[in-house]
């Protein structure tokens, strides 16, 4: 029974790719405490004077900018950029959103220092969330002005499409904006059932939200000095899955130039319409509303909806295996908005340059966050078979790719092997397969692996993630944003390098500015994976197409 319980826990863990842990009703889950949006008091401290350069401004330290939809009012962020919070779209419950036509502060606020309330999510305090949550935060260098032709960097937060917000830890875009001379926009979108489980069967509402955020930006960034032809979308974990969904949506193609994906859990593809319908039926039963009973839908309390959303999140894989356990509510290949699966079975012609990044220990929090004691061979075999099934499990165990480490003081600990396998299965190998398919269909792709990171708050309780040389899932976020607290020399160096590379990529689709080592584009014969933070060659290992994807199929191949 103990082995079975550990197996059940592992099935949750090894497939977990969310940017936040899965909660339960007592605010804890098998991955640790859930992280919720925090009200950021930085705006109250924004009293610093600055020079009038960007746009006409109101008095003292409050920047203003005239846009086609009204006057934008902001504050000076403590790290130097001008910060504007704004509502980008409107949406009624379980209806498609529409782009905002007037410049409005989020949530009906009159306080320009206020940051957006998060979208409704489990266990969040009622005062910290709102259904009126389709907002973004803009960070604009004070040196920009109309005609600057600056790029825009759009960040889509992770959280398993279940939790998260634009106010997440480390997502202050001020330093990134100044270092790259770009406008940084951090957006949020509807989560969980409110974003993906409309009772009447409408799909991809949250994807539509992200598209409307891009449309909004197209309209307003010229007023802040931005170019409408240099918009780069980027995201981490579920945010990267959203980026991939936008790459697969023809209607979004004209809205951005380049894309950056950080630790996209590509092992599971987009949901099929059949899987979506199966999950939808289950959800409708939970809320006890008919598909077309809008009066019932609108009468539901947020707590009822989020409770039903949690129940679906927790149970979906038990009745719909293709849903998986990491982000079962996710974009749907509906044939209208999303027309391609973007996997080895369906890949259209591609043209946009992409950066495809993972970290060296993406599975670290999942494995070591649950198994806090050494794992013996018997348990290792149990979780491999339980996760992959008999055929794929046999192939893994008989291969030379995942040898067990040597016994130390008479004790075997298989967790390092399991962590490597989990990272390969969910993140590294499917991402590299995606890159091969992308370039074979006309696109340009650069592959990166972060070997230096900064421990993200959600990983603080995982001792493995604190070890030297370990970079866990999410540990690249603060490197990208330049928000690492008291960075080491290695962290500062990598942040400077990443800012240079991302600035070049945003401007011309190539992450190779002068003064840094060459980052070669992937080819059909050599992926040229770049060690971000070191100089080592990144080995292909098990990520050869003859192993993962063939001998050991990805889950999107097992559950098409």
pLDDT score recorded for residue 152: 98
**Contact by Cβ (8 Å): 365, 35:** no
Which tens digit of pLDDT belongs to each residue from 358-378? 999 999 999 999 999 999 999
CA–CA separation, 230 vs 221, rounded Å? 10
Q: Is 128 helix (H, G, I), strand (E, B) or coil?
A: helix
When divided into structural domains, the chain yields a total of 1
pLDDT score recorded for residue 58: 32
**Contact by Cβ (8 Å): 113, 75:** yes
Which tens digit of pLDDT belongs to each residue from 159-214? 999 999 999 999 999 999 999 999 999 999 999 999 999 999 999 999 999 999 99
CA–CA separation, 144 vs 52, rounded Å? 10
CATH of the domain at 394: 3.40.50.1820
Which tens digit of pLDDT belongs to each residue from 86-138? 999 999 999 999 999 999 999 999 999 999 999 999 989 999 999 999 999 99
CA–CA separation, 547 vs 551, rounded Å? 5
All residue ranges of the chain with pLDDT < 50 are 1-60
pLDDT score recorded for residue 344: 80
- Catalytic member of 85, 223, 237, 326: 237
Alpha helices by DSSP H, listed for 14-85, are none
β 89-90/32-33 pair status: unpaired
pLDDT score recorded for residue 214: 98
Residues in the chain: 560
Give me the half-sphere count of Cα atoms (radius 13 Å) on the Cβ side of residue 476: 29
Domain enclosing residue 336, as ranges? 2-507+516-558
DSSP state at residue 216: H
* Whether residue 60 lies in the annotated active site: no
């Amino acid at each position: 029974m103990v082995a079975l319980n550990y197996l059940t826990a592992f099935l949750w863990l090894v497939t977990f790719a969310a940017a936040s842990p899965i909660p339960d009703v007592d605010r804890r889950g098998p991955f640790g405490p859930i992280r919720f949006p925090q009200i950021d008091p930085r705006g109250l401290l924004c009293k610093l004077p600055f020079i009038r350069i960007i746009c006409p401004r109101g008095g003292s330290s409050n920047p203003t900018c005239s846009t086609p939809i009204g006057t934008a009012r902001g504050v000076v962020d403590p790290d130097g950029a001008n910060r504007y919070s704004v509502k980008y779209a409107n949406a009624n419950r379980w209806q498609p959103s529409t782009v905002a036509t007037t410049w409005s502060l989020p949530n009906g606020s009159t306080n320009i220092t206020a940051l957006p309330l998060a979208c409704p999510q489990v266990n969040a305090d009622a005062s910290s969330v709102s259904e009126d949550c389709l907002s973004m935060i803009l960070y604009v260098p004070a040196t920009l002005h109309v005609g600057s032709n600056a790029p825009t960097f759009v960040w889509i937060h992770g959280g398993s499409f279940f939790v998260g917000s634009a106010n997440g830890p480390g997502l202050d875009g001020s330093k990134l904006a100044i270092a790259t001379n770009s406008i940084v926009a951090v957006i949020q979108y509807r989560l969980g059932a409110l974003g993906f489980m409309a009772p009447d069967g409408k799909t991809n509402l949250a994807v539509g939200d992200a598209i409307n955020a891009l449309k909004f930006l197209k309209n307003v960034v010229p007023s802040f000095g931005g170019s409408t032809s240099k918009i780069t979308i980027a995201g981490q974990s579920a945010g990267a899955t959203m980026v991939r969904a936008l790459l697969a949506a023809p209607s979004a193609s004209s809205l951005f130039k380049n894309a950056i994906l950080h630790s996209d859990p590509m092992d599971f593809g987009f949901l099929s319409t059949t899987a979506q319908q199966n999950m939808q039926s289950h959800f409708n039963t939970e809320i006890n509303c008919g598909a077309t009973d809008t009066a019932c839908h609108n009468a539901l309390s947020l707590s009822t909806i989020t409770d039903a959303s949690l129940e679906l999140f927790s149970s979906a894989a038990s009745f719909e295996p293709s849903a998986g356990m990491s982000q079962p509510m996710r974009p749907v290949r509906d044939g209208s908005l999303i027309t391609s699966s973007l996997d080895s079975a369906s890949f259209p012609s591609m043209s946009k340059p992409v950066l495809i990044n993972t970290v060296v220990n993406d599975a670290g929090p999942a494995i070591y966050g649950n198994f806090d004691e050494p794992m013996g061979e018997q348990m290792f075999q149990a979780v491999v078979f339980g996760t992959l099934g008999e055929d794929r499990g046999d192939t893994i165990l008989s291969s030379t790719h995942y040898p067990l480490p040597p016994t130390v003081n008479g004790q075997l600990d298989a967790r390092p092997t399991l962590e490597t396998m989990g990272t390969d299965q969910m993140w590294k190998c499917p991402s590299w397969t995606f890159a091969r398919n992308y370039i074979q269909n006309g696109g340009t792709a650069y592959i990166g692996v972060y070997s230096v990171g900064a421990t993200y708050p959600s990983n603080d309780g995982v001792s493995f993630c604190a070890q030297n040389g370990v970079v866990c899932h999410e540990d690249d976020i603060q490197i990208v944003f330049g928000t690492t607290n008291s960075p080491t020399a290695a962290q500062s160096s990598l942040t400077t390098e990443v800012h240079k590379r991302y600035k070049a990529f945003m401007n011309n689709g190539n992450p190779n500015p002068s003064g840094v080592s060459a980052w070669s584009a992937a080819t059909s014969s050599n992926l040229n994976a770049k060690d971000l933070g070191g100089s080592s060659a990144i080995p292909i290992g098990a990520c050869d197409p003859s192993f993962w994807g063939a001998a050991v199929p990805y889950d999107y191949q097992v559950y098409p």
